[in-house]
Structure 1
């Protein structure tokens, strides 16, 4: 078996204990929170007798000890069953599967925007270090790094939705849909523009700062001075020699961002009413839907682990000096 295949199998085998620890910690933290699903339902109804609430807890099997419920949950996981969401009257796996495409699309578009613009601006900033263009880009990246994501989203809504009326402020597509492939695609892009820009704004600033720092470090190496002595153009040096060798830390940042974007997507999806996993997790917290929250946490954790594996593989592709050993 090739070394790459052995390495991937070994890393995938490590998912089981990590996932078990994540599920245990998530379950304990959720169980420590006061109240349960029955309390939320009683509050929504306006009034409920203690007898009725006890009946609901018996119906939803909430009276058993915590370790018993956790054992049942692990047994369900062993059978690839994430449980049942009584609040949504659906299987958790089915509910998550309905929301995953919307969240993944939003996250990937946000990462592409942040990576392309961030790396480009960072490369320009490093190329013109100390000049006015460098100062402007550095100042804007600092502002973006310090600005809350939800505030950016609200600001974009005020400017582009309320004042200019160019883009919609909520939802994923026009109610009822649009006929035709291209009109439907353009309609979805219009609805995605503001959420994707809001989610990418913070991470774009990170890319700018990381690219500038990494490229300035590479600019000081001997082989760059040798390339200049040979008469190679500055553009070729920047793209082929400097930027390529500065991509390794950026690959790490990209992998970490794909895992951490879930936290940012909760805020953005709530602000823009985007029907994804983030909005689903936000609603599940207030509904005390533990099975649904555990399912979302588990999927997010697997996403982080898989992104770390992908980053390791990209390292070996970008830098021939890095070897993957089984």
Structure 2
């Protein structure tokens, strides 16, 4: 038997547990994403059709005057004169060809508009999620270690304020303090106008503009993660393996960081995945307060302008982002808690 023939007969290596977990998560995400996308398109399309007026009415009002013939021609040009079912079928046809349609308001395709705003929104969301997790978990550890003592009571009060105050209100407060009174940080936008920065300077400038929006967006989630971490750590503190670690004479910080915190991260990451949709929805208000040019502010402009194709495109992208984040959370949990690999 020749070497080439023997190589052809060589059996394939079995997949590892991690690879099986990844494939299972991707398959589950695909199964969830397609029906979710169709459901979102159907529900939102019907709701938008119930809204009085269309993009042609908005364009006519902004121009100051438009004849009935011009408006009828525009509706025929954009397919708005067709029956609702025909419009829905046309949208699905374009969606099947990976096209999100055309935006009459901005005079370009929806995909280009979303691609231009998506990086700034992702930057804001990722920074807010990172700050919320780091600060929230840190607060939760301090509250659990000093349970029912003054650090716990102080941080409980702080978390109560963060949980109770709306994000836009906190945004206005930090805007008034750090931008108006102290003049430390810019009040809005995502870059310094006229600075003509590039490379690292442009990145630092954008991060400087993102500080206040990130603080406002992450405030509510800091309180959520802190309370959840405290509760999870206190529940784990009575487990037998923690008592065994104390009996072995391990340092308290080592027990908390290497044994207790790893188990407590599982519910925290689960809730972080579930709240990702809330985080995405909160960007719309925060971007409006700080004039941050992201998807949230673009969605507000699209709704006001009756730009339904753009609204549908943003909602579809948001749905897929939520599905992807939940897949990543599922994979992260399998790394944090190896016992979950056996469920794949």
TM-score range with shorter-chain normalisation? over 0.9
Deviation digits for residues 48-94 of structure 1 (CA, Å, limit 9, x no counterpart): 44444333322322111111001000110111011000101111011
Partner of 2:10: none
RMSD: 1.6
Is 1:159 the counterpart of 2:167 in the alignment?
no
**2-structure distance, mates of 1:211, 1:134:** 13
Q: CA deviation at 1:225?
A: 1.6
Partner of 1:13: 30
TM-score by length of 1: 0.95
Which one of the candidate residues 147, 162, 175 is aligned to 1:144?
A: 162
Q: CA deviation at 1:139?
A: 0.8
- Residues 92 and 214 (structure 1), Cα distance of their counterparts in 2 relative to 1, 3 Å cut: same
Preserved contact between residue 7 and residue 325 of structure 1 (Cα < 8 Å): no
SS of residue paired to 1:322: helix
Partner of 1:222: 240
Within 5 A, what are the aligned runs for 1:103-114?
103-114=121-132
Any gaps of 5 or more consecutive residues in structure 1?
none
Tell which deviates more after alignment, 7-16 or 21-30.
Answer: 7-16
Q: CA deviation at 1:5?
A: 4.8
Tell which deviates more after alignment, 36-45 or 90-99.
Answer: 36-45
Q: CA deviation at 1:180?
A: 5.1
**2-structure distance, mates of 1:94, 1:181:** 23
Partner of 2:9: none
Preserved contact between residue 178 and residue 187 of structure 1 (Cα < 8 Å): no
Is 1:315 the counterpart of 2:336 in the alignment?
no
TM-score by length of 2: 0.90
Any gaps of 5 or more consecutive residues in structure 2?
1-13
Partner of 1:44: 62
Which one of the candidate residues 295, 311, 318 is aligned to 2:313?
A: 295
Partner of 2:272: 254
Q: CA deviation at 1:7?
A: 0.9
- Residues 279 and 244 (structure 1), Cα distance of their counterparts in 2 relative to 1, 3 Å cut: same
